[in-house]
Structure 1
Amino acid sequence: MRTELTDTTSSKVDRALLAARRAIGSPTMGLVLTLVVVTDEENAYDAVRAASEASREHPCRIIAVIKRTSRGPYKLRQTRLDAELRVGSDAGSGEIVLLRLHGALIEQAGPVVLPLLVPDAPVVAWWPVDAPADPARDSLGALAQRRITDAGSAADPVAALDERAAAYAPGDTDLAWTRLTPWRALLAAALDQKPLPVTGATVESEGENASAELLARWLEDRLGVAVTRVTTEGPVITRVRLETTGGEIRVDRPEGALATLILPGRPDRKVALKIRSGAELIAEELRRLDADEVYGSALRRRPLQTALSA
C-alpha cells in the first residue's frame, strides 16, 4: 500500500502510517530498529532499494530523508515537506517513509524525523553519499546509536577517511571498512594456520581506494609493522602480502569472485572473496549496534609507509 502526502507535517505522516497499517490489517509493529537514509534525489532509488533488501534480515522502518535543492536565491525557495509511505507488500519486511525536504526545512531534518522513529528501538543513520564532516554532531546523526558513512563515494576517499578520523565518535563506521570483512577474516585465518612473526606487509589496489587504505592501517595497527601501498590497475584490492620469518603469505585476487591463498609450505587454495552488494554491506552493519573499537583504532592509525606504483 502506498500513500502520498504533499506539503505535510511529521505528525500527519505519523497518523497516515497508523492508518495505512490498520488498512492492511496490521495495526501493531514488529520492527527492530529505524534506519534513517540521508541522500539526494539522484541516489535515493539505489539507497532505498539496498535498505529494503537489508530489511529482510532486519525488519525496520526505513526513513529516507531526500534533500531537494532548488536553484535561485535561498530565501525564495519554497519550504515544504512531501512524503510517500509504503507499507505491506510495497515495503518488504518493514515500512518505508520517503521524506522530501525543500527549502529551509533541509537544515531542520532532525526535528522532522524525530516523531517518526520507532518507539524504544535503536536508530541507525546512513549517508550513502555526501556525509557530514562530523556525523555524531549532525542533527540526524545525533539521533542514532550507529552512524554509517561511505568514504568510497567521496571525491577524495583517503582524505574522507582522514576527516572521519578527526571527528570519530563511538558508533561511527564506514562501508569502506565493511567491505574488508572477508579480507580481514581470511588474513586472520591465514596467520592462525601459520603463526609466524610478521616483519612487513604490502597492500596492492587501484589508486585512491578507501578500503585498501583502511586495510593497510588495520594491518599496521594490529601487527605493528610498516605497510607498503602499491597502486595497480585494480579492480579494488588485488593482492595482500605478509612477509614472515618463514616465508610470504599472499592473497591474490586479480579479478572476479575467487582469490588464491598462498601459504609457505602448503598447496595454493582457492577461496571465495567476492565484491558484495550495498544491501549485503548494510545488512552486515545492522547486525551490531555497539561501537566498533577495531575500526576506530585502524581509522586513526597514521600511515607508516608511503604509496608506490606498480
Structure 2
Amino acid sequence: MIIDIPSTSASDVAKRMVELREKHGAVALGRVLTLVLVVDEDDAEDAIASANHASHEHPCRIIAVIRGTSRGSTRMDAQIRVGGDAGASEVVALRTFGPLTAHPVSVVVPLLLPDNPVVVWWPTEAPAVPADDPVGQLAQRRITDAAACKRPIAALHDRVSGYQPGDTDLAWTRLTLWRALLAAALDQPPYESVRSARVVGGADNASADLLAGWLALTLDCPVTRTKATGVDGLLSVRLDRESGPIAIERPDEELAVLTAPGRADRRVALPRRTAGECLAEELRRLDPDDIYGEVLVQGLSRQEETGKTTRTKAKAGR
C-alpha cells in the first residue's frame, strides 16, 4: 500500500500513520529501531530498496528524507509505504524543498518511534562530522559509505578527524568476508609471524585502504597498498611468512582462490556484497565498532603506498 500526502507536515504524517494503524492495522508496532536515510532524489529509490532488504532481518521504521531543490518556497511531500511495498518495515518518504532541505531534523523528530534506538544512514555524501550533524545527534549508530562518494579515498580520510564512537562506514563492512578468510588462514599451522603484507585494489577503493590499515594494526608489520588500474574493487591480499605466502586472489566478483604453503589451492565464495547486505550486518549491533575506529584513526596512517600501479584487465568487486 502506498499513500501519497502532498504539501504536508511531519505532524500530519504522524497522525495519518496512527489512523492507518487504528483503521486497517496496516502499520505494525513490532519495530526494533528507527532507520533514518538522508539522501538526494537521484539515489533515493536504491537506498530505500537496500533499507527494505535489511528490514527483513531487522523490522524497523524507515524514514527517508529526500532532498529536493533548495530553491523556491518551503514544502514537503510525503509518501507512506506499508505492506508489500515496504519489506518488513514501514517506509515514510519525505521529499523536502526550499529552505526545509537544510533542516531535515525538523521533519524527522515527530516520526521517531518512542523508546527505540535510532540509526542514521547517509547512502552517498555525508557530513564531515556525522556525530555533529543535527540528524546524526539523534542516533546511536551513524553509517556512511565512502565508496559512494565522488572521491572515496578523500571521503574516507576525512572521516578520521571527525570520528566519534558509533560511526561506521560500509566500506569497512564490505571487508567482513575478507577478514574472516585471512583470520582463518592464519589460525592454521605453522603459526608464524607475518613479515610483510600487500593489498591490491582499485585506486579509489576505500575498502582496500581499510584492509591495509587493519593488517598493519593487527599484524604490526609493513603493509603495502598497491593501486591497480582497470579495476574498481579489491583484487588480492598477500601475507608473507617464513614458510611461504598466504594469498587470496579474486579475479572476478564471485570466487577467489586461497593459496597457502603445504596446502592445495582452494576456491572460495567471495561475492561482492550489496548495500542491503552490508546495512543488515551493521544493524545487528548498536554498540560502537571499536575495531573500525582503531583502524580508521590509527591503521590508515601505517600503510605504505606503492608509486607504481598494477595494470590488469580483470574486474573485481569490493
- CA shift at 1:278, angstroms? 1.4
Contact 1:20–1:87 under 8 Å retained in 2:
no
**What is the RMSD computed on CA atoms of the aligned residues?**
1.3
> Normalized against structure 1, the TM-score is what?
0.95
CA distance in 2: counterparts of 1:156 and 1:176, whole angstroms:
13
- CA shift at 1:169, angstroms? 0.4
* Residue number in structure 1 paired with 2:135: 140
In the TM superposition, structure 1's runs of 4+ consecutive aligned residues that sit over 4 Å from their partners are: none
CA distance in 1: counterparts of 2:125 and 2:93, whole angstroms:
18
* Residue number in structure 1 paired with 2:25: 25
CA distance in 2: counterparts of 1:168 and 1:112, whole angstroms:
26
- CA shift at 1:24, angstroms? 2.3
Task: Write the letter of the residue equivalent to 2:265.
Answer: D
CA distance in 1: counterparts of 2:136 and 2:29, whole angstroms:
24
Task: Write the letter of the residue equivalent to 1:272.
Answer: A
* Residue number in structure 2 paired with 1:39: 39
Contact 2:38–2:122 under 8 Å retained in 1:
yes
Of the three residues 237, 240, 255, the one matched with 2:252 is 255
> Normalized against structure 2, the TM-score is what?
0.93
CA distance in 1: counterparts of 2:24 and 2:195, whole angstroms:
62
- CA shift at 1:90, angstroms? 2.4
Residue 242 of structure 1 aligns to a residue whose secondary structure is strand
* Residue number in structure 2 paired with 1:14: 14
Residue 282 of structure 1 aligns to a residue whose secondary structure is helix
* Residue number in structure 2 paired with 1:189: 184
* Residue number in structure 1 paired with 2:313: none
* Residue number in structure 2 paired with 1:88: 83
Deviation per CA, 1:155-208: give whole Å up to 9, x if none.
221111111111000000001001000000100111111421011000011112
Instruction: Decide which moves more: 210-219 or 6-15.
Output: 6-15
CA distance in 1: counterparts of 2:144 and 2:94, whole angstroms:
20
CA distance in 2: counterparts of 1:28 and 1:42, whole angstroms:
29
**1:41-56 counterparts in 2 under 5 A?**
41-56=41-56
Equivalent residue pairs, number? 305
* Residue number in structure 2 paired with 1:241: 238
- CA shift at 1:25, angstroms? 2.5
Contact 2:199–2:237 under 8 Å retained in 1:
yes
CA distance in 2: counterparts of 1:36 and 1:267, whole angstroms:
47
Unaligned runs of 5+ in 1: none
Task: Write the letter of the residue equivalent to 1:172.
Answer: D
Task: Write the letter of the residue equivalent to 1:88.
Answer: G
* Residue number in structure 2 paired with 1:160: 155
CA distance in 2: counterparts of 1:25 and 1:306, whole angstroms:
57
- CA shift at 1:26, angstroms? 4.7
CA distance in 2: counterparts of 1:92 and 1:273, whole angstroms:
26
1:200 aligns with 2:173: no
Residue 267 of structure 1 aligns to a residue whose secondary structure is strand
Unaligned runs of 5+ in 2: 311-318
CA distance in 2: counterparts of 1:25 and 1:297, whole angstroms:
45
CA distance in 2: counterparts of 1:66 and 1:139, whole angstroms:
16
CA distance in 2: counterparts of 1:57 and 1:28, whole angstroms:
15
Instruction: Decide which moves more: 295-304 or 9-18.
Output: 295-304
CA distance in 2: counterparts of 1:252 and 1:274, whole angstroms:
12
Deviation per CA, 1:6-64: give whole Å up to 9, x if none.
22111111011111222322565000001101100000010001101111111000000
Residue 22 of structure 2 aligns to a residue whose secondary structure is helix
CA distance in 1: counterparts of 2:133 and 2:183, whole angstroms:
35
